[in-house]
């Protein structure tokens, strides 16, 4: 009877721990994540050195984003396809495209996955870039995770999916708003389809509960097997 009760308690603990550790990832809202919204005035500058007749852009602003020396871009034949929609965001060296996710801060025991597509123009004018998921408080940023890549490692005329992750513990993580930073170190940085998800991770105490549950389940199974062994004649 005692073994049966232990088995039931262990099974409950095991299920609770597994469910806690495999919670679905939630999307964090990013304004104009695929750059399809454009500022009043539209794409008012036509491309003159390439990109075909459909190529056009503006010199900012980009709704939802902060940018200097950048804007919305309909790249035409500079890219064979666009990850999402028909427009992308761009920023020229040595400037940044940023967004403050006001009201969104790092939560304890959570894993953040920051993803985005970056491209290499067909004319090779893209450069090196640094992209990071930060926090910002009082104008000071703290980097949570970062990706540094040279665009010439990407096939010309295409986009490549990049990502980085940050896992917080129970305490000791940076405070402030989550902050997205796309910096062009050289050339032009072209970006599209930005995403950020958060998923809970088990606390150490939950892992301990999992271990205890597995121990009692194993003990119960061994005791039951021993009981079922036939007696020797």
Confidence (pLDDT) at 204: 59
Query: Residue 180's closest CA among 2, 28, 11?
Result: 28
Confidence (pLDDT) at 202: 85
Spell out the domain ranges in the chain: 25-202
Task: Summarize the confidence of residues 179-189 as an average pLDDT.
Answer: 98
Q: How far apart are CA 56 and CA 136, in angstroms?
A: 33
- Classify 25-202 by CATH class: mainly beta
CA atoms within 13 Å, Cβ hemisphere of 233: 0
* pTM reported for the whole predicted model: 0.80
């Amino acid at each position: 009877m005692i073994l049966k009760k232990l088995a039931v308690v262990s099974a409950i603990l095991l299920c609770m721990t597994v469910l806690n550790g495999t919670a679905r990832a939630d999307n964090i809202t990013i304004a104009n994540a695929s750059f399809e919204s454009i500022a009043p005035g539209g794409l008012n500058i036509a491309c003159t050195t390439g990109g075909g007749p459909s190529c056009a852009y503006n010199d900012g602003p980009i709704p939802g984003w902060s940018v200097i020396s950048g804007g919305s871009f309909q790249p035409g034949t500079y890219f064979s396809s666009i990850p999402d929609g028909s427009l992308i965001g761009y920023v020229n060296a040595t400037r940044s495209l940023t967004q403050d996710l006001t009201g969104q801060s790092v939560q304890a025991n959570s894993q953040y996955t920051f993803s985005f597509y970056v491209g290499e123009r067909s004319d090779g004018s893209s450069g090196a870039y640094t992209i990071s998921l930060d926090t910002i408080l009082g104008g000071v940023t703290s980097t949570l995770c970062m990706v540094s890549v040279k665009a010439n490692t990407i096939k010309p005329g295409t986009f490549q999916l990049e990502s980085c992750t940050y896992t917080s513990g129970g305490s000791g993580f940076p405070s402030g708003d989550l902050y997205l930073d796309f910096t062009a170190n050289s050339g032009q940085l072209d970006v599209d389809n930005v995403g950020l998800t958060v998923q809970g991770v088990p606390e150490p105490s939950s892992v301990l509960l999992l271990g205890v549950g597995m121990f009692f389940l194993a003990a119960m199974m061994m005791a039951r097997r021993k009981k079922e062994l036939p007696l020797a004649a």
